[in-house]
């Protein structure tokens, strides 16, 4: 009888341990990103804070610095002024920034953009369709797309000024 209870308890503990290990792996270790260097970018249509339509396909011929961010994300907040400074330099060289906000209220994003003097296009992915299509996690994540629409790099995490400059150089049309 004791032997049966020991086997049953051990089996239950093993199942629980396997379930916990799988949960930990799938949430913290597994790479769930969809976007990979060498893939074609996924087209999308969003509207910026002024209501203007942004379609990725319309930017073919330009390098696209596609940044996914949130106002609640400290590295995102830190890199925005850097992106703004370099946008002024690189927009005339054929590089476009699209900052895709992760489903925050429009007023929150508008006030953030005004407070930081951001002039590059900012769109809110209200239904998280673009975030899901690209498999974005965590924030910030930046996807670099060349003038042919091919993803050349996916960067997860914050960026320094030198990194942003190097990334813009990498996607500047040749």
User: Same domain, yes or no, for 17 and 38?
Assistant: no
The strand order across the sheet containing 95-101 reads: 122-124, 95-101, 63-69, 141-145, 151-156
- The CATH code of the domain that includes 114 is 3.40.30.10
Taking the C-alpha atoms of residue 5 and residue 17, their distance in angstroms, rounded to an integer, is: 18
Residue 96 pLDDT > 60: yes
User: Same domain, yes or no, for 14 and 66?
Assistant: no
Average pLDDT, the chain: 93
User: Same domain, yes or no, for 166 and 100?
Assistant: yes
150, two tokens: 């091919």
User: Same domain, yes or no, for 60 and 12?
Assistant: no
Q: Which of 3-7, 83-87, 88-92, 120-124 is predicted least confidently?
A: 3-7
pLDDT digits (tens, 9 = 90+) for 99-114: 999 999 999 999 999 9
User: Same domain, yes or no, for 49 and 112?
Assistant: yes
164, two tokens: 């942003």
Full residue range of the structural domain in which residue 55 is found: 34-171
- Identify the band that residue 116 occupies on the pLDDT scale cut at 50, 70 and 90: very high
- Whether residue 122 contacts residue 113, with contact meaning beta carbons closer than 8 Å, is answered with yes
User: Same domain, yes or no, for 7 and 58?
Assistant: no
Q: What is the CA radius of gyration of the chain?
A: 21
Number of structural domains in the chain: 2
Question: In 3-state terms, what secondary structure has residue 60?
Answer: coil
Q: Please state the rounded mean pLDDT for residues 29-57.
A: 88
User: Same domain, yes or no, for 48 and 121?
Assistant: yes
């Amino acid at each position: 009888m004791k032997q049966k209870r020991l086997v049953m308890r051990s089996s239950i503990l093993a199942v629980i341990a396997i379930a916990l290990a799988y949960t930990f792996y799938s949430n913290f270790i597994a790479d769930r990103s969809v976007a990979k260097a060498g893939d074609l970018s996924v087209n999308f249509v969003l509207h910026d804070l002024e209501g203007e339509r942004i379609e990725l396909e319309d930017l073919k011929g330009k390098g696209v610095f596609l940044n996914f961010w949130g106002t609640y994300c400290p590295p995102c907040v830190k890199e925005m002024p850097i992106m703004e400074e370099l946008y002024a330099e690189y927009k005339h060289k054929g590089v476009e920034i699209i900052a895709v906000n992760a489903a925050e209220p429009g007023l929150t994003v508008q006030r953030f953009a005004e407070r930081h003097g951001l002039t590059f296009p900012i769109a809110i992915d209200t239904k998280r369709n673009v975030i899901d299509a690209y498999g974005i996690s965590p924030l910030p994540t930046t996807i670099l797309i060349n003038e042919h629409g091919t993803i050349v790099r996916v960067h997860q995490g914050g960026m320094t000024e030198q990194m942003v400059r190097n990334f813009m150089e990498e996607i500047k049309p040749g």
